[in-house]
Structure 1
């Protein structure tokens, strides 16, 4: 679907509208904590931005943007709300608002994502939305995946460019908010690649780096904190680094021994000495390494 962006819209009309005359076509479930914060903020300083509606044939209005603000005013006992009245098609209003929000970065992430979700629910593909907002279709898909799972913290991290969208998707599949926060902190500190981030996520989800009680029960979360998880992961990372160092040292020593034995097996006097001492056996690994160097009877 395409829109004509060259049309010059007339200045918006703003007036007080009875809340009872406004219909919310596609109501969305809101995060309770965020809703309470919004309501308290409106109670303290008033409504900073009017909602947007468009007139209906029956004389009422259809809500386009601002469900959270509308519900907050209702909770505060208000019967009227300041609203921008637009005559443009609903889809064009939503898309125009979304493009403006993305350009300005002044609106909350979840409000912008709500606009994306609204367009998707009205039949627009990720590619349709991407073409009109300057985002790729894949990026729109990933953002909506986070939005559908209520990952506001991760969406904010993506918007502020502290992590990439792919990293956010990986972190979103971590069990529990403390686990997600820990992985988010580690990603910001260490700039992990996707494969390493995925490995740490699986490690955290498996509970193998925690104490016996948590390790034995993947559903047990009592006592788990973000700080504790981060410490456990860093201990595991250090343990694995030490294991790699030991493995590399063993490999170097084994290589040295192999090279030394190769030289010795070229010496006829050494071979004669081995036979004289009755030493006819050799570990299989060394035999494989020395293949071609061993004497043949």
Structure 2
């Protein structure tokens, strides 16, 4: 029968297997060596996508390390000021701090900023408990040069391009939603975020109204009264109801030219909207249009 020490060692090994291979795959081409590094000399990675750390899991990891030792060293890179920056192993580092330890075994590698950011994200992507929003945070923090070629970036991180674009959908969401996700990153998955993005892009001409109804749907998601996968459809329903009310309270006129509809004019009790189906306009015509609109505004103000 296995001893308690052996069982703890087995459990810790299972917990670390998910990110061991990621580190091997990504640092094998870089110069590396091992040593015990003072914990006070290690700074957190600015590319760490993880927003939350479960305190109970950290305590369990600390207990395991105290019993059987550290089975997998953390990974750091050397900085110019003789300090180190963490690349992989923040849980293990935090567990050492819980234990009051002053040093930790580390694999020290030579890596530039781009390599370090990719390594940190790749290590985290291998962990199943990282949320979709946290993956977006990691992707969004990468240098613009790395993000430019999305196909190459996806390949280097082991993602398919379709998933890459789903993760990046979060960047198009309202700031209010992003702030909520900073606090609770598991509230919205990448598929629902993609649906949110599509809903907003489908209603660009009435973006303010679209964001308003989407936030109403979002409040229901936060209150556990609506499934996140149904939120975009719910917002669409609210938007359609609002559009029906606007249409009945508005005057709409078509702009016709040469027997075809070239645009429309919509007048409600709050605003006038003019839409023209043209792709370009010369400077002189644009100036004439601007002058006419200014006169119209001035006339309306006098009234």
TM-score by length of 2: 0.44
Rg (Cα) greater in structure: 1
Higher strand share: 2
Compare relative contact order (CA 8 Å, sep 6+) and give the higher one, 1 or 2: 2
